[in-house]
Amino acid sequence: QQQVKQSPQSLIVQKGGISIINCAYENTAFDYFPWYQQFPGKGPALLIAIRPDVSEKKEGRFTISFNKSAKQFSLHIMDSQPGDSATYFCAASTRGYSTLTFGKGTMLLVSP
Amino acid sequence: DVKVTQSSRYLVKRTGEKVFLECVQDMDHENMFWYRQDPGLGLRLIYFSYDVKMKEKGDIPEGYSVSREKKERFSLILESASTNQTSMYLCASSSTSFRETQYFGPGTRLLVL
């Protein structure tokens, strides 16, 4: 049973465009929603995260939008750059627990 | 900076061999994790540990065991490697204070022939 559903599986965006990756969850006990970025040959690294008490969090060109009623959250990459080409994972965790439930990942390619 | 190191980047083993994957973190983190990463399947949790000599099963523990004799070191053991265990294995750690942020190692790509 997949608890965090991520889409699309892959995405090609032109340089300067907006990249959007979506995730949906069922478990209402989730209360922390991070996004991890993984470059080829590297382990994933935390990119940005949000808690459900806010609807949006922005860090530079990266924004998380959160819709608690729809149980959905998304990552927006503004002015996408070739250096953003990576695999992105959404995840979720429950308060008091250390484990993360990951989505299946989105491979983003930003064309020059 | 937190550093998580894994003993090998690439490993080739034969079916039936016992395989040890080692992970060391240098930030005194209490929590450590082993994942496998497969195309289209994302990151799946194999085992995790909250403390020395303590272990908990993740989502896919079958065919694996772990050992945590020291706080900084977490080992993944494939008792009898099989071809379906060919994968990328990722180790991660986190602190109890900031439990939700996991720091990952670079991964070990294991090929079982």
> Residue A24 pairs with which residues in a beta bridge?
A5, A72
**Both tokens assigned to B69:** 């004799």
Q: Sketch the domain layout of chain B as residue ranges.
A: 4-8+15-96
Residues of A in contact with B103 (CB under 8 A): 45
Contact A43 B100 (CB under 8 A): no
Q: What is the mean pLDDT of residues B61-70?
A: 96
pLDDT at A13: 98
pLDDT at A95: 77
pLDDT at B2: 65
The verdict on whether omega for the bond into residue A112 sits within 30 degrees of 0, i.e. cis, is: no
pLDDT at A1: 52
CATH topology of domain B4-8+15-96: Immunoglobulin-like (2.60.40)
Kindly list the structural domains of chain A, giving each domain's residue range(s) and its CATH number in brackets, ordered by start: 4-111 (2.60.40.10)
- Is residue B24 scored above 70 in pLDDT? yes
Q: Kindly report the average pLDDT of chain B as a whole number.
A: 94
Contact B42 A46 (CB under 8 A): no
Banded model confidence at residue B62, pLDDT cuts 50, 70, 90 = very high
Q: Is B5 on the interface with A (CB under 8 A)?
A: no
pLDDT at A97: 76
- Is residue B98 scored above 80 in pLDDT? no
Q: Which of B21, B19, B18 is nearest to B106 (CA)?
A: B21
A78 three-class SS: coil
With residues binned 3-state (H G I as helix, E B as strand, rest as coil), the percentages for chain A, rounded to 5, are: 5, 55, 40
Work out the minimum CA distance from A1 to partner chain B, whole angstroms. Answer: 10
Residues of B in contact with A36 (CB under 8 A): 104
**Both tokens assigned to A41:** 């040959």
Q: What residues of chain A score a pLDDT lower than 50?
A: none
Could you tell me which chain B residue has the CA closest to the CA of A48? B101
B31-38 and B87-94 strand pairing: antiparallel
Residue A75: in which H helix or E strand, if any? strand A72-77
Residue A67: in which H helix or E strand, if any? strand A62-67
Q: Which of A71, A73, A75, A101 is nearest to A86 (CA)?
A: A75
With residues binned 3-state (H G I as helix, E B as strand, rest as coil), the percentages for chain B, rounded to 5, are: 5, 55, 45
Residues of B in contact with A49 (CB under 8 A): 100-101
Banded model confidence at residue B97, pLDDT cuts 50, 70, 90 = confident
Banded model confidence at residue B28, pLDDT cuts 50, 70, 90 = very high
